[in-house]
Amino acid sequence: MEYYSWILTFHVMSFMSWMAMLFYLPRLFVYHVEHAHKSEFVEVVKIQEYKIYKYIGLPAFWATLLSGAAMLIINPILFESGEWLYAKLTVVALLTAYSFSLEYYRVQLENDECTQSGKFFRAYNEVPTLLSILIVAYVVVKTFSLLFTSITIAFFAFVIYMIFQQPKHKG
């Protein structure tokens, strides 16, 4: 337990770095798609997309995952702390899938094969915000609330609906 606080600190910092990529990369996708007719601009954005995923996002993801696993190994009593941990781990699994989906879209965009719209990526950009709110809430409050979770998901569903209702963006 002597090192637990240090691992927790590293875990939080890694999570913040991973979230920075998860928040920013889909915005780059929006710019990429909406300015596809500007080849010089797109080439610069492709470099940014690659670097933020490979040099920031992926290492931060692994650091977050490994430090989280280390905390569970060092302090297995966490598994008995309530359903909040299982809710958090479920949401982390969703966030992991989302993270890897960004690489899928990044490769499609790099190869000029992506058919998604700017609206899609604007809406997709809301996913990590929703999931990070749930993770932080479960960890801080140390409980799982179906009501809180449902309201949060409903709010983000409304936000995403509103994004798709916006008039088409002119790049």
pLDDT, tens only, 69-80: 999 999 999 999
Q: Domain for residue 17, yes or no? A: yes
Known binding residues are 11, 88
Q: Domain for residue 170, yes or no? A: no
Report how many domains make up the chain.
1
Q: Domain for residue 171, yes or no? A: no
Q: Domain for residue 102, yes or no? A: yes
Supply the range of the domain harboring residue 106: 4-165
d(C-alpha 109, C-alpha 49), whole Å? 9
pLDDT in tens, 9-62: 999 999 999 999 999 999 999 999 999 999 999 999 999 999 999 999 999 999
Q: Domain for residue 40, yes or no? A: yes
Known binding residues for heme are 11, 88
d(C-alpha 15, C-alpha 22), whole Å? 10
Q: What confidence category does residue 169 fall into, taking pLDDT thresholds of 50, 70 and 90?
A: low
Q: What is the DSSP string of 35-97?
A: TTT-HHHHHHHHHHHHHIIIIIIHHHHHHHHHHHHHHHHH-GGGGGS-HHHHHHHHHHHHHHH
Residue with tokens 């609906």: 161
Q: What confidence category does residue 171 fall into, taking pLDDT thresholds of 50, 70 and 90?
A: low
Residue with tokens 């058919």: 115
Contact 71, 8 (CB under 8 A): yes
Q: What confidence category does residue 2 fall into, taking pLDDT thresholds of 50, 70 and 90?
A: confident
